[in-house]
Amino acid sequence: MKRIKKAVIPAAGIGSRFLPATKAMPKEMLPILDTPTIQYIVEEAVSAGIEDIIIVTGKHKRAIEDHFDAQVELEITLEKAGKKDLLEKVHFATDLANMFYVRQKSPKGLGHAIWTARQFIGNEPFAVLLGDDIVDSEVPCINQLIDQYEQTQSTVIGVKDVLKEDKSRYGIVEYDKRDGDLYEVSKLIEKPKPHETDSNLAIMGRYVLTPEIFDELDKGEIGAGGEIQLTDAIEMLNQHQKVFAYNFSGNRHDVGDKVGFVKTTIEYALKSSMRDEIQQFMEQKLKELK
């Protein structure tokens, strides 16, 4: 049995929901407090034992590579100024993992982004972590899925229940059997219309995939939005190889949405050293709104 040691993080999207901020800055570099969102994702992968991470980028994404690279001049400046705490933070980002990059040359969808990493992955199972979801949990979210993969030796998708009116925003999982929080998938539907499914189990940006997924992605099937969808490829894989969904434990933050991004920032601020000041500010604002 092969332990999962590689992960793919797709980061090629244009970040249209955050324009004009993302005109020149990758949306993955937008910070929650002082840390870019993509670093939270990388930290989750590393804490689960992932050693090699490939980030799929696009045009104007060099800032991501720079962030995880050494910045010698900055490090010298911080060291001379005696700012050891900041220097440690800079070193931490640089030394997190073995980082690799491949460019998705045209925006053909999430499935195509994963396909571009096929040579890096080879014939191994691997993890996928999407940057729009930050998960707070005692056991790293992707680690929970890896544990399930080791039991099932099959593709495992991270899921959560969503409201009926939100189903059209996600890939939805239908299932035949259930064992606690583990579901044996019968069907996957990308962004279904309200009448298409009764299931509320939504895919939440965490996957452990077997290498056979590339055989399905090779077909280049066009799905929702005129793009090559990963959900569709997993649905085709499910026709001849078992696929499972796991309702992971933890608090999921949607940082790909402006409201979710603001909520996440507030929540992280209330867990930080600035808690008292932020709480007083919020209480004052609530009084003013009454």
Residue-wise pLDDT for 18-52, tens only, equals 989 998 899 999 999 999 999 999 999 999 999 99
The pTM for the full model equals 0.92
Say if CB 52 and CB 42 are below 8 A apart: no
The residue type of 29 is: M
* Chain center to CA of 52: 16
Every domain of the chain and the residues it spans: 6-256, 257-290
Instruction: Classify burial at 257, counting beta carbons within 10 Å of its beta carbon; exposed 0-12, middle 13-18, buried 19 or more.
Output: middle
End-to-end CA distance of the chain: 60
State how far the Cα of 15 lies from the Cα of 22, in Å rounded to an integer. 6
Q: State residue 6's pLDDT score.
A: 96
* Residue 268, C-beta contacts closer than 8 angstroms, at least 6 positions apart: 32, 33
Cα separation, 201 vs 248, whole angstroms: 11
- The type of residue at 194 is P
Give the number of other Cβ atoms within 10 Å of residue 80's Cβ. 8
What pLDDT was estimated at residue 1? 59
Q: What is the pLDDT of residue 253?
A: 92
Architecture of the 6-256 domain:
Alpha-Beta Complex (3.90)
pLDDT of residue 174: 92
pLDDT attached to residue 87: 93
pLDDT score of 4? 92
Segments of the chain with pLDDT less than 50 = none
What confidence tens digit (pLDDT) does each residue in 266-275 have?
Answer: 999 999 999 9
CA distance 142 to 273: 28
- The pair phi, psi for residue 178, each rounded to 5°, is -140, 135
